[in-house]
Amino acid sequence: MISMRINGVSRQFHGDPDMPLLWYVRDELGLTGTKFGCGAALCGACTLHVNGSAVRACVTPVSEADGGEVTTIEGLDSEGNHPVQRAWREHNVPQCGYCQSGQIMSAAALLNENPDPSDDEIVDGMAGNICRCGTYQRIFAAVRTAAQEV
């Protein structure tokens, strides 16, 4: 049996320990804010936090999170008002919105590790997340704004 806390709630998982965390949170727990985009850690749509660090849930086996603390977009802030989320709305970032959970989780982890990133560090930190609508200009601006608040 695998145990973890997801968004502060204790969970026990009895299935195949190789199942990626993405499908556990989406299919079994119904936490659908975390998205499937590539299944190969290439696009970042599935980004969530394990013990505070951003991971690609589509290639992270459930077993790797055993005993850990998992945070999905739904658990980032109880009111949806994390500084990164507020900055996203201030800059009117989303177009289709599908990649934005992953973008926000990547940005939140980036700022957690580096509260005052340089422009290059923002670009490097966010380059793992694809946005097909092309909202990078606003993502970049939103991360800069959020950095002033965290």
Partner 1 sequence: MLGVQNISRRTFLKSAGVTGALVLGANVSTGSMIGTARGQGNGTSIKPNLFVEISDDGTVTLTCSRSEMGQGVRTGIPMILADELEADWQRVKIWQAPGDETKFDPAGKDQQNTDGSRSTRHHFEIMRQLGAAGRYVLEQAAAKKWGVDPAEVYAKDHRIYHSGTGDWFDFGEVVDAAADIVVPTGDAAPKLKDKSQWKYIGRDMPVVDNYDMSTGGATYGADISVPGMKIAVVARPPVYRGKVKSYDASEALKVQGVEQVIEIPPLADDMPAEFRALGGIAVIGTNTWSVMEGRDRLVIEWDDGPNVTHDSSTYNGELVVAARTGGHVIRDRGNVDEAMGAAARVMEAEYFVPYFIHTPMEPPVAMVDATRMPVKVVTSTQAPNWVRQYVAEALGLEQTDVECEVTLLGGGFGRKSKPDFACEAAILSARIGAPVRVQWTREDEIRHGFYHAASAHRLKAGLDGAGKVTAWHHSGAWPTLIALWAPTMRTGHPLEYGLGLIDTPYNEVPNLRIENGEIDAMIRVGWYRSVNNIQHAFAMNCFANELAEAAGRDPVEFLLELIGDADVMDLTMDGVPEHWNYGDSIEDWPIMPKRLSNVLRVVAEKSGYGKSMPPGHGLGIACHRSFHSYVGCAVHVVVRDDGSLHIPQVDMAIDCGRYVNPEGVKKQMEGAAIYGHSVAMHGQITTTQGAVDQSNFHDYTITRMDDAPLDVRTHIVEDFTHLKPCGVGEPGVPPYTPALVNAIYNATGKRIRRLPIGDQLESA
* Residue 104 within binding range of partner 1, rule CB under 8 A: yes
* Residue 74 within binding range of partner 1, rule CB under 8 A: yes
68/138 with CB nearer partner 1: 138
* Residue 50 within binding range of partner 1, rule CB under 8 A: no
111/139 with CB nearer partner 1: 139
Go through the chain and tell me how many residues it has.
Answer: 150
The burial of 44, by beta-carbon neighbours within 10 Å (0-12 exposed, 13-18 middle, 19 or more buried), is given as buried
* Residue 149 within binding range of partner 1, rule CB under 8 A: no
Q: State the Cα–Cα distance between residues 79 and 85, nearest whole angstrom.
A: 10
Q: What is the DSSP string of 64-127?
A: GGTT-EEE-GGGS-TTS--HHHHHHHHTT--SS-TTHHHHHHHHHHHHHH-SS--HHHHHHHHT
Near partner 1 in 3-42, by CB under 8 A: 15-16, 19-20, 23, 26-28, 30-40, 42
Q: State the Cα–Cα distance between residues 135 and 113, nearest whole angstrom.
A: 23
Whole-number minimum distance, CB 115 to partner 1, in Å?
19
* Residue 127 within binding range of partner 1, rule CB under 8 A: yes
Q: Backbone phi, then psi, for 34, in 5-degree steps?
A: -85, 125
* Residue 145 within binding range of partner 1, rule CB under 8 A: no
Binding residues (CB under 8 A) for partner 1: these are 15-16, 19-20, 23, 26-28, 30-40, 42-43, 45, 72-74, 76, 80, 85, 88-89, 92-101, 104, 123-124, 126-140
